[in-house]
Amino acid sequence: MRELMKVSREKMTAAVLYGKRDVRIEQIPIPRVEAGEVLVRVKAALTCGTDLKVYRQGFHARMIVPPSVFGHELAGVVEEVGEGVESFSPGMRVVSANSAPCNKCFYCERHQANLCENLVFNNGAYAEFIKIPEPIVQQNLLILPDNVDFRDAALVEPLACVLRGVEQTGIEEGDTVVVIGMGPIGLMFVQVLKSMGARVIALGNRTTQLKMAESMGADYGIDSTHSNVIEQVRKVSNGMRGADVVIEAVGSKETWQQALGMVRRGGTINLFGGCPSGTHIPLDSTLIHYSEITIKANFHHTPRHIREALESIHRGKFKAHHLITGEEHLSDLGTVLERLLNRNGDLKIAIIP
């Protein structure tokens, strides 16, 4: 198979999504770079829960209509720059975020660039090359410090979402914080919260991931499949009162509701995990009102958080390599995604073209 995949001048190897669980490795044209754009040779692309969702359902409502390239967490080397690009030149090591805001719309003007009405998304990281659109080149394409490797750098996008989530939740040193869900996002929260001096209670349904949470500093690891999980959390939270903050990083009806049972009076819940569209949940209004519970949610990132994420990886404050549990060749992407769907215990896999 591999002999067939030699790069010719106009073509590159890329993973193309054709539909539900149908990804094919093909030779497709290398994107042409126009004014303001940059072509990046991908050195590492990371698998992500969003990509898994896209793979399972065969499309993404906002950004991926098959047949289409996909994948959005990447780092690499600048191959070519379009007319007018001055900050980048071929050979530079870079990381690119998957989107950039317009800076002009209603939300951008209100410092909510993550909700920009004209977000430009970029997909196609599972390929030898990816073209970076002008707005991303201008705002969210960053040069890598020498000591940051490509795999670690590719984590900036999800980490930026997590950093923003923590910031928006308003957590103080010494707070007891429950994190529900020990997938890559939940584990990133554990690491960030511990670095801020929070007391962290990690909830997960797999022993391997609870162990990982503990190795990242979680003070307690609790099996979320226990029937009395809420009581177990309360036992170690402010003398049965409940946690100061609960961060939900699963995205299910059950765990959104569970979060409400774990928080103390006056506490905050961050419903970080997105549920399938159309999900509705009943909430105990008396509890929310008389216990004065703040319910928040967060989506996406801003250019500032992308920079902070890279800085945090660069300084070694955030250990990105703990989240990357393997490395595979691009030609094996289909197998890797199937494996991840079967929840084999892997977190993120670095896909190398």
List residues near Zn ion by CB under 5 A: 48, 50, 101-102, 105, 108, 116, 158
Residue with smaller CB distance to Zn ion, 30 or 159: 159
Residue with smaller CB distance to Zn ion, 105 or 297: 105
Please report how close the Cβ of residue 252 comes to Zn ion at its closest, in angstroms.
Answer: 19
Q: 41, 156, 135, 34: which is closest to 90 by C-alpha?
A: 41
Residue with smaller CB distance to Zn ion, 99 or 258: 99
Q: Which residues contact 101 (CB under 8 A, 6 or more apart)?
A: 107, 108, 113, 114, 116, 118, 119, 135, 139, 302, 303
Phi, psi of 252 (to 5 degrees): -140, 155
Please report how close the Cβ of residue 27 comes to Zn ion at its closest, in angstroms.
Answer: 26
Spacing of C-alpha 134 from chain mean position: 22
Please report how close the Cβ of residue 343 comes to Zn ion at its closest, in angstroms.
Answer: 17
Residue with smaller CB distance to Zn ion, 9 or 111: 111
Q: Is 138 exposed, middle or buried (0-12, 13-18, 19+ CB in 10 A)?
A: middle
Residue with smaller CB distance to Zn ion, 50 or 224: 50
3-state secondary structure of 192: helix
Please report how close the Cβ of residue 118 comes to Zn ion at its closest, in angstroms.
Answer: 5
Q: 138, 146, 44, 45: which is closest to 93 by C-alpha?
A: 146
Residue with smaller CB distance to Zn ion, 264 or 348: 348
Please report how close the Cβ of residue 113 comes to Zn ion at its closest, in angstroms.
Answer: 6
Please report how close the Cβ of residue 346 comes to Zn ion at its closest, in angstroms.
Answer: 15
Please report how close the Cβ of residue 112 comes to Zn ion at its closest, in angstroms.
Answer: 9
Phi, psi of 307 (to 5 degrees): -65, -45
Q: How far apart are the first and last CA of the chain?
A: 14
Residue with smaller CB distance to Zn ion, 116 or 350: 116
Which DSSP string do the residues of 140-163 spell out, in sequence order?
TEEEPPTTS-HHHHTTHHHHHHHH
Phi, psi of 255 (to 5 degrees): -75, -30
- Please give the Cα distance from 195 to 180 (Å, whole number): 18
